[in-house]
């Protein structure tokens, strides 16, 4: 059971959270209710899209990664699971919708909402807060309110007077491929107000089963189910029961159900839906443990109290009110994924399709590691070290259950979708061990990293090992892969060094230099190379697609050597030439045609040719620090923050990427950034806070102060750590977590020493 | 692990077992390997039939209830689960087939076996024994041998020399509806000789999952999988792995796999497949527990030793060698179903889709109760009381897990298919409690019986309660239902009486007289009646279909009052008129058109208008005993046994019906029969044994002796139980199970006292 009262405090930070930020266009955030890292994300979906073949670039499927698009005129229903900020869609499980009138078991269309159970709505009658969402559904005239606990979605529907009030549960509808995703559904109606069941789907996740339990605050008078599977081979020519109405033993493909009520005017019917990855029994137990009663307000405030506690970990003073909204919404967005993936009794379904019990850790799922290894997991290492340790434990469990013997690439719900390049689990693991966060078996973790990095048949790793780079013939993203493998290999080397395993260190530190093999000194860029050692002839340095790169062109990706930037600068012609390169990157004119090919971000997500909305550039601005022009880093950081993060539904220029974009914002707001996770260094930027207090656990506090902070004073005149001047624009992890104070003196003029 | 040696003995009864009996036409038995009540029935399938809509009368689906038809020219493969003698098809899980040459992942057609993995074969190179099946596959020139333990199928394939030897595992192929049944399959190849997985199907059973583990005696050199699901939405546009060959993480719909080997001439490759209803982990544990090694011969003999022990429970002396084959094959066929449905650790998936652990009993599945309540379960009460007690426990577990709150009708693998009429679980339960076999909570059992019998929305029960009969409008089988409900109600009354629950007794003894409500004295037959109390106008007394009956016309069904035959005879005009009725039944000419409509039996399964192949008549011949002409019973019983049970593939004239037909044979061979289970009486017939010794457990022995036994001496001159003359042609259950001797004096002349 959740805590009953929210702690008294001066100011509720949770009120700054604006879940609507990023819900337009490509932000791909959801406005609905959830608790920090909760298994349930109960949120409105504004469309569910018919099947499109296996292609994230089918625009419609891509549009609904988080189920909700701010500009859409109708709401299809409220589903219980959502990704936040991804560039690929899935989930959207268990669509619920209150309706009045004739029973309709299909959603209908956005232009004719009356053809289905969906409804028009207006943003003027909509409210999105942390763990609370409210909207007036115009067609049925039903006020829908949503809140959650970790594993339970709580609905409160205020109906008009009607003897035809319904709650629809559509098990066939879902995000990704509406009419093909459901493989099988089972529902058991246990009595007049409780049902259990499971939905098995093949969406982006190949094999995924969600068990559920649903309870209604008022007994339904009737219920029924439909299945769109034309021929369910079952029970011969006998029809022993009338299975259409009030038949409690339901199974089939693509089932939708209606539960019918008589309602008085303004009568509230509440519904709770608990989920489990393991069994209906566990779903019921989750519900009983988390929300045994019908007190919507208590659950709402309990969840908001969890958010408040989360946000209180960093108290900031900022220049403007909007900055608070941006900052705390970033903290909110950086606490949505990965999600808890186990029942209250610790059970979960593993990658091996077996039921496991998480032993001494909270099991998490939905790791978008290509995004999150950069700033998100390092951020957790500071303010949520226990969660990050558990995430590493979750990755290790995934590895142990993997028949491929690989750490997760893009795992969710007992699947790995192998999305994006690299094997960045190793970065998260090495970072967590080197920073003393993960306290499990470090040698087993190193073995898992090595085994993963030696999976020869995975996207060119074999050739990478043999040639020192992924050859052009082997992969359409050969350069991205090579550069990211090299960084990951450096992480493994760091971990091996830490554990004093010399042979592994030797092997992987050597591999970490493989980025050199794809640098074409003739053109001054990284470039695809074939197995004969020849660079690709046809090559456009602005192209992001099909020329060796993924989510970034060579202008951006050539800078991706976060573990050895000094050598990179040397290789690229020295500091001056490198500075010029960076200047060009931020200022050049990008021809229109390249915008169409740039993934996951709107045009606004691009500054010159610098693509902030895509992760490979996230460390780039800091390279000015060692190219002899830290002041350029400082001003550009402030420019990026100003430019790329806004309040309002269209506040994000691109996918939030499961909190990576937000974590970038938080670090930069505080004035430092982990350029190369698995090192213990943070590089100094230009904070936007006037001051900040980070609560790092065990009573440790780290303070940031920016003297003379203003919108114009973007330059750092001086940095002091605990009173001592920081000369190299770097601070160490230990210097933060042991507590202390980082003092910036800001200025409107660059300090060109 | 199974016992290592078969007990030494004078004569192996197991050698009389001829699994080929009944494999032609409508016997629907399977020739393959299994152990008594084993979960695995590893047997060749001679065809797998494309989808036919939900209709058991689609001839082809019906033909392959047991997968094998003796007259077919090809074998598709060896699958691991089979019904025995049913009239509805399902199962046929995990089709395995050795092949040589190009990989083919579809079965091909019987007329062109070279178009797929199937092969021609010849009966001259085929051998079917208890727990051993052998056949030469002509196309690949592979000798296939099969044996089993309780949960593991053991294959031994002797290959020719080839570098293209394969073992195919086709997860899409199955009995019932070949190309639509598979819902989802997962396979994990753990190493070069072990794989695990599960297959989820919707066949006759709506939702059924079989988990498996497969191991090969020799490492495969390569393997691969195909899926016929055209679009598996998975992992976006990346194809990180080559998933066609040697990719160990397989999932999709309708998957078939090949495992490739180099073989020397006459090289044997062995394969074991274990199944589990719960998990892959459990399947592996089942294999490890039951067959940890590769000793095919040991496993074969261990299983045959189990059979020998089973058969030794009744030692008989018979007149002819063929009689031994018929008798012991009947015992064999009466020990195939229901099957063990739990793992070695006691876990199984319940009707509620949850994992349960059988607490103190062996859980069984596949209850064809309409057939088996009559003689099969009473037979178990004599020679396998522990198994029958466990079957009652299994039914009670089913009830506890039922959201419908019903005892099983036709349950298998966590489903109820609601096949045929009545709620005959109550007969089995009452019989087992009244005979002291089931020692569980009898009051809980009574409550389950009462609850089931009051399921108003199940096939006319509500109207049956209201009107005293199932009205014609409500069900196409209204008379069958009414008569069977009335008998079942009498069973409940007997149990209530036994437990001294007077109100239940009063209610159900009254309901048990409902058969009277459908007797039309004007025509002298049972007849459908509508809700207005009017008998159906259009009515043909020979018709079995659509006129109120199922698997029997009114000539046969009018006699179905096993619990009150004296009243029936009185109602039908007294003994003389009743005798004439029976004489007509056995001797009348049945017009051709009715043969086409008679289910589940060939024309040979009918004697006059007496349909021995369908169960409603199984007690009929005994009614002569109380109609004043026991000698007619005696001669007709001998005639039926002679007429209906033969050796050879076409030895059975109709479905064996999960052992009911065989149990009928065994009882009648011994000279008595349970006319009305849930009474403690057996009625005296005419034995075919010269002598018999029944081992009833706890050292108790019951002997049968037939003095002057011969083919002609079909009449019983005298019957003595322990030396005392039996005058009423009845003996009691207690008189058998306490041990003793039943002596018949046989004669060629009827004793018309």
- Do B203 and A231 lie within an 8 Å CB cutoff? no
Per residue in A564-604, pLDDT tens? 999 999 999 999 999 999 999 999 988 877 776 666 666 77
Tell me the sheet residues that pair with B143.
B136, B158
CB A556 within 8 A of CB A609: yes
- Residue A133: is its pLDDT beyond 90? yes
Q: What is the rounded distance in angstroms from the CA atom of residue A2 to the CA atom of residue A40?
A: 15
C-beta atoms surrounding B716 within 10 Å: 24
CA B612-B613-B617 angle, 5° bins = 40
- Enumerate the β-bridge partners of residue A113: none
Closest by CA to B161, choosing from B257, B75, B268, B258, is B268
Residue at token pair 């049956």: B464
CA separation, residue B412 to residues A59, A224, A369, B55, B280 (Å): 46, 25, 44, 19, 20
pLDDT for B237: 44
Res B233: pLDDT: 44
Distance in angstroms (rounded) separating the CA atoms of residues B85 and A95: 45
A545 and B CB contact within 8 Å: no
pLDDT band at A719 (very low <50, low <70, confident <90, very high): very high
Half-sphere exposure of residue A191: CA atoms within 13 angstroms, side-chain side: 6
The pLDDT of residue A23 is above 90: yes
CA closest to A246 among chain B residues: B457
Residue A219 to residue A672: CA distance in whole angstroms: 56
Q: State the DSSP string of A527-562.
A: --B-TTSPBPSS--TT--SSSS-SSS-HHHHTT--T
Confidence band of B201 (pLDDT split at 50, 70, 90): very high
Going by pLDDT thresholds of 50, 70 and 90, the confidence category of residue A557 is very high
Q: Which residues of A touch B61 (CB under 8 A)?
A: none
The residue among B144, B26, B24 whose CA lies nearest residue B78 is B144
Interface contact A401, partner B, CB < 8 A: no
**For residue B206, is pLDDT > 50?**
yes
Residue B271, pLDDT above cutoff 80: yes
Nearest residue of A to residue B279 by CA position? Answer: A354
B493, B508 in Cβ contact below 8 A?
A: yes
pLDDT at residue A140, rounded to an integer: 97
**Confidence band, pLDDT 50/70/90 cuts, at residue B48:** confident
Q: In CATH, what number does A31-294 get?
A: 2.70.98.10
Q: What is the pLDDT of residue A5?
A: 40
Contact yes or no for A280 and B354 at CB 8 A: yes
* Closest by CA position to B344, among listed B498, B537, B213, B534: B213
Across all residues in chain B, what is the average pLDDT? 93
B675 to chain A, closest Cα gap in Å: 28
Q: Give the span between the Cα atoms of B302 and B4, in whole angstroms.
A: 6
Residue B747 has pLDDT above 90, yes or no: yes
**Do the Cβ atoms of B668 and B638 come closer than 8 Å?**
no
**pLDDT single digits (tens) A339-368:** 999 999 999 999 999 999 999 999 999 999
* Token pair 């199922």 in the structure block, residue: B550
A410 φ, ψ (degrees, to nearest 5): -140, 90
The rounded distance, in Å, linking the Cα atoms of B61 and B67 is: 9
Q: What is the DSSP string of B323-386?
A: HHHHHHHHHHHTTSSSEE-S-TTSEEE-TTSSEEE-SSS--EE-EEHHHHTTTHHHHHHHH-HH
Contacts of B204 in chain A (CB under 8 A): 233-236
Among B235, B237, B245, B600, which would you mutate to test the A interface (most chain A Cβ atoms within 10 Å of its Cβ)?
B235
d(CA A301, CA B223): 56
Highest mean predicted confidence (pLDDT) among A663-677, B7-21, B543-557: A663-677
User: Contact, A517 vs A505, CB < 8 A?
Assistant: no
Name which of A532-546, B12-26, B392-406, B484-498 the model is least confident about: A532-546
Interstrand relation of A681-684 and A730-732 (parallel, antiparallel or unpaired): antiparallel
What residues does each domain of chain B span?
Answer: 31-294
Per cent of chain A over pLDDT 90 is: 84
What DSSP designation does A649 have?
T
**pLDDT band, residue B176 (cuts 50/70/90):** confident
Nearest to A658 by CA among A413, A422, A370, A437: A370
Write out chain B residues lying below 8 Å of A347, CB-based.
none
CB A688 within 8 A of CB A59: no
pLDDT 10s digits, B273-284: 999 999 999 999
d(CA B310, CA B331): 8
- Calculate ∠ Cα B103-B106-B108, nearest 5°: 105
Count contacts between A and B (CB, < 8 Å). 162
Of residues B57, B184, B202, nearest to A232 (C-beta):
B202
Whether A458 sits inside 8 A of B207 (CB atoms) is no
Q: What is the biggest distance separating any 2 CA atoms in chain A, rounded to whole angstroms?
A: 89
Confidence of residue B50 (pLDDT cuts 50, 70, 90): low
Spatial distance between the Cα atoms of A563 and A542, rounded to a whole number of angstroms: 24
Smallest Cα–Cα separation from A483: which of A627, A626, A621, A615?
A: A615
Please state the φ and ψ torsions of residue B532, each to the nearest 5 degrees.
-85, 0
Task: Please answer whether residues A47 and A66 qualify as being in contact, where contact means their C-beta atoms are separated by less than 8 angstroms.
Answer: no
| Interval A471-484 mean pLDDT | 95
Work out the pLDDT band at A174, boundaries 50, 70, 90. confident
Bridge partners of B679, per DSSP, are B677
Q: How many other CB atoms are there within 10 angstroms of residue B519's CB atom?
A: 21
Question: Which of B715, B724, B721, B723 shows the shortest CA–CA distance to B745?
Answer: B715
**Confidence category of residue B362, pLDDT binned at 50, 70, 90:** very high
The proportion of chain B whose per-residue pLDDT surpasses 90, expressed as a percent, equals 84
* B489 three-state secondary structure: helix
CA angle A287, A296, A86 (to 5 degrees): 70
* Residue whose structure tokens are 């008798």: B327
| DSSP summary character for residue A716 | E
Q: Which residues contact A678 (CB under 8 A, 6 or more apart)?
A: A427, A430, A431, A434, A490, A491, A494, A495, A563
Q: Is the pTM of this model over 0.90?
A: yes
Radius of gyration of chain A (CA): 26
**Residue A240 and residue B418: Cβ atoms within 8 Å?**
yes
Examine residue B381 and say whether the peptide bond preceding it is cis (omega within 30 degrees of 0).
no
The gap from C-alpha A726 to its chain's centroid, in whole angstroms, comes to: 34
A57 pLDDT higher than 90: no
CA distance A450 to A447: 5
Q: Which of A576-580, A699-703, B413-417, B593-597 has the lowest mean pLDDT?
A: B593-597
Q: What is the pLDDT of residue A655?
A: 94
- What Cα–Cα distance (Å) separates residue B403 from each residue in A193, A250, A538, B107, B345? 14, 10, 66, 39, 26
Select from B531, B514, B535, B419 the least CA-distant residue to B474: B531
Distance from CA of A550 to the nearest CA of B (A): 11
Q: Which two tokens stand for residue B19?
A: 């699994």
What is the model's pLDDT at position B49?
A: 66
How crowded is residue A745: how many other Cβ atoms within 10 Å of its Cβ? Answer: 17
Q: Are A649 and A703 in contact (CB under 8 A)?
A: no
pLDDT value of residue B79: 98
Whole-number Å distance between alpha carbons of B79 and B175: 9
Task: Please return the burial class of A538, using the count of CB atoms within 10 Å of its CB with bins 0-12, 13-18 and 19+.
Answer: exposed
Nearest of B80, B176, B91, B169 to residue B133 by alpha carbon: B80
Contact partners, residue B662, CB within 8 Å, separation at least 6: B329, B330, B331, B332, B333, B334, B376, B656
Distance in angstroms (rounded) separating the CA atoms of residues B74 and A178: 43
* Whether B184 and A200 lie within 8 Å, measured CB to CB: yes
Q: How far is CA B683 from CA A122, A752, B398, in A?
A: 80, 113, 32
In this predicted structure, which of A200-204, A379-383, B163-167, B296-300 has the lowest mean pLDDT?
Answer: A200-204
Of B78, B87, B207, B65, which is closest to residue B599 (Cα–Cα)? B87
Question: A523: distance to nearest CA of chain B, Å?
Answer: 29
What does B179-199 look like in DSSP terms, one character per residue? Answer: TT-EEEEEEEE-SSSEEEEEE
Average the pLDDT over B643-668 and give the result.
95
Across residues B115-139, what is the average pLDDT? Answer: 97
């Amino acid at each position: 059971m959740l805590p009953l009262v929210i702690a008294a405090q001066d100011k509720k930070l949770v009120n700054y959270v604006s879940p609507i930020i990023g819900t337009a266009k490509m932000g791909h955030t959801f406005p609905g209710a959830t608790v920090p890292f909760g298994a349930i994300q109960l949120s409105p979906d504004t469309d569910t899209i018919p099947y499109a073949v296996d292609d994230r670039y089918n625009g419609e499927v891509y549009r609904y990664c988080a189920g909700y698009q701010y500009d859409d005129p109708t709401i299809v229903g409220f589903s219980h699971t959502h990704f936040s900020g991804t560039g690929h869609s899935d989930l959207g499980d268990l669509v619920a919708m209150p309706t009045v009138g004739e029973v309709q078991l299909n959603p209908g269309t956005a232009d004719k909402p009356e053809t289905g159970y969906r409804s028009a709505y207006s943003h003027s009658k909509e409210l999105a807060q942390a763990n609370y969402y409210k909207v007036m559904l115009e067609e049925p005239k039903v006020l829908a309110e949503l809140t959650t606990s970790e594993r339970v979605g709580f609905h409160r529907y205020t109906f008009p007077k009607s003897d035809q009030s319904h709650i629809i549960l559509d098990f066939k509808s879902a995000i990704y491929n509406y009419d093909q995703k459901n493989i099988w559904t089972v529902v058991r109606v246990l009595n007049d107000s409780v049902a259990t069941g499971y939905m098995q789907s093949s969406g982006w996740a190949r094999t995924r089963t969600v068990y559920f339990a649903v309870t209604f605050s008022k007994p339904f008078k009737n219920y029924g189910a439909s299945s769109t599977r034309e021929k369910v081979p079952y029970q011969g020519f006998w029809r022993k029961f009338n299975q259409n109405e009030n038949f409690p033993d339901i199974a089939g493909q693509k089932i939708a159900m209606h539960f019918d009520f008589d309602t008085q005017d303004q009568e509230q019917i509440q519904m709770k839906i608990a989920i489990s990855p393991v069994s209906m029994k566990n779903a019921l137990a989750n519900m009983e443990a988390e929300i045994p009663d019908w007190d919507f307000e208590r659950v709402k405030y309990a969840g908001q109290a969890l958010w408040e506690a989360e946000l209180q970990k960093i108290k900031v003073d900022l220049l403007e009110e909007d900055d608070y909204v941006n900052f705390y919404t970033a903290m909110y967005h950086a606490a949505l994924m990965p999600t808890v993936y186990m029942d209250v009794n610790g059970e979960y379904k593993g990658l091996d399709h077996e039921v496991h019990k998480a032993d001494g850790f909270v099991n998490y799922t939905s790791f978008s590691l290509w995004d999150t290894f950069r700033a998100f997991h390092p951020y957790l290492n500071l303010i949520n070290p226990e969660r990050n340790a558990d995430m590493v434990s979750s990755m290790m469990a995934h590895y142990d259950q993997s028949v491929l013997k690989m750490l997760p690439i893009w795992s969710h719900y007992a699947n790995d979708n192998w999305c994006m390049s690299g094997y960045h689990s190793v970065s998260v693991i090495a970072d967590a061990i080197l920073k003393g966060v993960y306290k499990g078996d470090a040698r087993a973790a190193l073995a898992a990293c090595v085994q993963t990095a030696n999976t020869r048949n995975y996207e060119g790793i074999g050739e990478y090992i043999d040639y020192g780079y992924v050859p052009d013939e082997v992969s359409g993203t050969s350069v991205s892969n090579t550069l990211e493998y090299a960084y990951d290999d450096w992480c493994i080397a760091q971990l091996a060094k830490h554990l004093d395993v010399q042979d592994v260190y030797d092997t992987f530190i050597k591999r970490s230099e493989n980025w050199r093999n794809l640098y074409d000194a003739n053109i001054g860029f990284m470039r695809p190379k074939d197995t004969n050692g020849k660079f690709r002839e046809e090559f456009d340095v602005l192209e992001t697609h099909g020329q060796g790169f993924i989510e970034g062109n060579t202008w951006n990706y050539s800078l991706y050597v976060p573990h050895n930037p000094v050598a990179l600068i040397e290789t690229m012609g020295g500091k001056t030439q490198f500075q010029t390169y960076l200047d060009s990157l931020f200022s050049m004119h990008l021809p229109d045609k390249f915008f169409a090919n740039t993934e996951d971000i709107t045009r606004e997500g691009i500054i010159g040719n610098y693509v902030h909305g895509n992760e490979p550039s996230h460390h780039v601005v800091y390279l000015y620090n060692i190219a002899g022009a830290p002041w350029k880093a400082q001003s550009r950081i402030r420019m990026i923050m100003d430019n790329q993060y806004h309040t309002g539904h269209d506040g994000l220029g691109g996918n939030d990427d499961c909190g990576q974009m937000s974590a970038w914002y938080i670090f930069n707001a505080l004035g430092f950034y982990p350029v190369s996770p698995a090192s213990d260094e943070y590089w100094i930027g230009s904070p936007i806070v006037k001051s900040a207090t980070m609560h790092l656990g065990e009573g440790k506090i780290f303070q940031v102060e920016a003297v003379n902070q203003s919108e114009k004073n973007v330059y750092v005149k001086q940095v002091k750590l605990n009173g001592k001047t920081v000369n190299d624009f770097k601070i160490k992890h230990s210097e933060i977590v042991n507590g202390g104070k980082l003092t910036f003196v800001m200025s409107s003029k660059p300090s060109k020493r």
